[in-house]
Chain A
Amino acid sequence: MNIFVLMKQVPGTSNVKMDEATGTMIRTEHENVINPLDENALEEALRIRRAVGGSTVTAISMGPPPAARALREALAMGADNAVLLCHRALAGADTLATARALAGAVAHAAGGGIGPHDIVLCGERATDGETGQVGPMVAALLDVCVATYVRSIQLDDSDGASTVATVERVVEDGFERVKLSLPCVITVVKDINQPGFPTLAGKIRARGAQVRMLSHEELGLDADAVGLSGSPTRVVRIFRPSFARDTVLHTQDGSGAAVDAFVDLLADRGIV
């Protein structure tokens, strides 16, 4: 089983700066972490590898050179290979341009010794953009099935010859069990597992392992297809929202007047 995990580096804090000119995030090395749900995706990949003999786990990320650190962490957690898509032209990508680069990297691996993908895993969304679009887009570009919001994955055989996966996907008012054929893309929710930690042996191994650096050119993608120039969307304005209303403010002063006014308001609105 050839498993790929798409991993995003996200800011560790919620204080992120914007580039006013392009409307894109200014990413710094400072306090970046692996998107938590992508860690669940990696853990699931490692679980499948334990269950299915002869499996390989490859972590892929896109970002500036410091993003290699996240991939080294993935190696320390147990990934076999790590690929970083890294080039100035890749910067400022929206979800489609990002998906194009990541799908390109997965397809590239098929011809690059790693072999064709059976399962591509990633978090259901990233904590910074919260779009959840990249996973299904990668599936569309790779022309494979997709299951989203998945909390469990079951493969039919343990001999690596499985051609279908049965998943449970969480929906608004319950869950669905869906069977889909491999290869496929699966996006996971937090409930799927408890991510492990890098082991000492893993860390030592990771130190020796190489993070493979690739550019869009090596994936056969034109500079116009990736990054900001390959993005069909543009951020045109960033602003702090104003939700302000005219507020009637009471102070709890022990007289009971404030809560009386509250109950009157409820009565006025037909609630009580």
Chain B
Amino acid sequence: MMDARSIECDGDIDHTGVMIVGEQRLGDVHPVTFELLARGRKLADKLGAKLSCAMIGSGLGESAHEIIARGADVVYLIDDPSFAWFLPGIYARALERLIRSAMPEIVIAAATTSGRTLMPIVAARLCTGLTADCTELDIDVSERLLLQTRPAIGGNVMATIKTPQARPQMATVRPKSARPLPRDDRRAGRVVQVKPVGEDAVLAGCCAAGCAAPGRGLEVLLESVRDTTQEVSVQDAEVIVTGGKGLKSKDNFRMIEELASSLRAAVGATRDVVDLGWISYPHQIGLSGKTVAPRLYIAVGVSGSVQHLAGMQTAETIIAVNRDKDAQIFKVADFGIVGDLFEVVPEMITKIRNRTSAGR
């Protein structure tokens, strides 16, 4: 398996076009697919190339039309009951096979638990580069190369990465880091049904360094449990109120929950706050937590480390409350209040309640 002495990765010039790897849930297109299409459309247009979308799942027939309306030129449907749920091995084999035949120059997937599992397997099998968790994708037009930008070293700086020779150039991007394109039902596109191949399909490895034929291991999903005890998902929320270390204690953090509830908003938290145990990890926003792009983001007692900013800077409107007028968070905010949050927040809650009851 690992007995090879050399590598022959192809820097094939025949690779062309941008492919995004869509996601589905029980046959319905997951909204992250539309974000990927928006990203992919921009890249394909810069390259003057086609944008395709690979959909792996079961019962996908209905989805193709909307995927085209959201920006795809070609939709590959890999539709089979065995693909109903994400399983790394069979998904990777199907995607690898599609990439080998469609030969895109760029492949982009979402940095979800499935995308972050699927893409490394496929990249390793194709012997190409993969950049995780990009926040920004662009094209170097002169070299026709994908510029993959992601936070690096604990989120203190950003790094731009290229894949100069190997193809395709692969990247995962954070969900909610791009806005979907509006639906355009006049768009035309092609739908290609890709016939899944049985488990025994053997693919030639692309290079001698160990990119072997796909494995035949067993993998079975026994059950999928949705955790309904988890409150509103911060990634789906229109409004988020986030509390930072400035709240000083777990008890004080309840103030954030109260402010959020007055706005029917989700509660977010910084890494520090989660590490201190004031609230659970699903609420964490930032590089090591979730990336969000709500309509309104309110940061209270948050200093604004790059690692946090990387997770929320695409919010439409950002409001910050902090005692320190020089806090980094004010630089990214549209509106800020310099003051003691223990005075400001209760006043906010009262005035919001007055306004909402007056408006009814």
Contacts from A to B (Cβ < 8 Å) = 11, 14-16, 18, 23, 25, 94-96, 99-100, 103-104, 107-108, 127-137, 139-149, 164, 166, 169-181, 183-184, 219-222, 224-225, 230-241, 243-253, 256, 258-263, 265-267, 269, 271-272
**A108 touching B129 by the CB < 8 A rule?**
no
In angstroms, Cα B158 to Cα A18, docked, is 11
Residues of B within 8 A of A173 (CB): 226-227, 230, 233
**B163 touching A178 by the CB < 8 A rule?**
no
Residues of B within 8 A of A250 (CB): 335-338
* Proximity string of chain B (91-129) to chain A, C-beta cutoff 8 Å, 1 when within and 0 when not: 010000000000000000000111011111111110111
Q: Which of A171, A179, A238, A259 contacts B113 (CB 8 A)?
A: A171
Residues of B within 8 A of A129 (CB): 132, 152
* Proximity string of chain B (147-188) to chain A, C-beta cutoff 8 Å, 1 when within and 0 when not: 110011110111111111110000000000000000000000
Contact residues of B between 316 and 332, Cβ < 8 Å to A = 317-319, 325, 330-332
Given the contacts A247-B333, A247-B336, A136 and B113 also touching, CB distance less than 8 Å: no
Give the interface residue-count category, chain B.
35 or more
Residues of B within 8 A of A224 (CB): 6-7
**B225 touching A252 by the CB < 8 A rule?**
no
Binding-face segment, B40-48, B60-68, B340-348: B340-348
**B319 touching A143 by the CB < 8 A rule?**
no
* Shortest Cβ gap from A218 to chain B (Å): 12
Given the contacts A137-B121, A172-B112, A236 and B222 also touching, CB distance less than 8 Å: no
Interface of A is mostly: mixed
Contacts from B to A (Cβ < 8 Å) = 1-7, 9, 85, 87-89, 92, 112-114, 116-125, 127-133, 147-148, 151-154, 156-166, 209-215, 217-227, 230, 233, 235, 239, 263, 287-288, 295-296, 306, 309-310, 313, 317-319, 325, 330-340, 343-344, 347-348, 351-352, 355-356, 359
**A179 touching B218 by the CB < 8 A rule?**
yes
**B92 touching A140 by the CB < 8 A rule?**
yes
Residues of A within 8 A of B128 (CB): 96, 232
Q: Which of A107, A219, A272 has the largest count of B CB atoms less than 10 A from its CB? A: A272
Q: Which of A145, A245, A246, A272 contacts B356 (CB 8 A)?
A: A272
With both beta carbons as reference points, the residue of chain B lying nearest to A106 in the complex is identified as: B2
* Shortest Cβ gap from B175 to chain A (Å): 9
In angstroms, Cα B119 to Cα A119, docked, is 21
Q: Which of B131, B158, B230 contacts A233 (CB 8 A)?
A: B131
**A127 touching B154 by the CB < 8 A rule?**
yes
In angstroms, Cα B218 to Cα A178, docked, is 10
Given the contacts A107-B2, A241-B310, A177 and B222 also touching, CB distance less than 8 Å: yes
**A232 touching B165 by the CB < 8 A rule?**
yes
**A143 touching B214 by the CB < 8 A rule?**
yes
In angstroms, Cα B293 to Cα A243, docked, is 14
In angstroms, Cα B129 to Cα A230, docked, is 10
**B7 touching A132 by the CB < 8 A rule?**
no
In angstroms, Cα B2 to Cα A103, docked, is 8
Given the contacts A245-B318, A271-B263, A169 and B113 also touching, CB distance less than 8 Å: yes
Residues of A within 8 A of B213 (CB): 143
**A181 touching B166 by the CB < 8 A rule?**
no
Instruction: List, sorted by A's number, 9 A–B pairs whose CB atoms are closer than 8 Å.
Output: A129-B152, A140-B120, A176-B222, A219-B2, A238-B157, A246-B334, A247-B334, A266-B296, A269-B296
Residues of A within 8 A of B233 (CB): 172-173
**A251 touching B339 by the CB < 8 A rule?**
yes
Q: Which of A128, A239, A243 has the largest count of B CB atoms less than 10 A from its CB? A: A243
Residues of B within 8 A of A236 (CB): 147, 160-162
Top 6 A-B residue pairs of the complex, sorted by shortest distance between their CB atoms: A252-B339, A232-B129, A233-B129, A145-B217, A140-B124, A131-B132
* Shortest Cβ gap from A38 to chain B (Å): 16
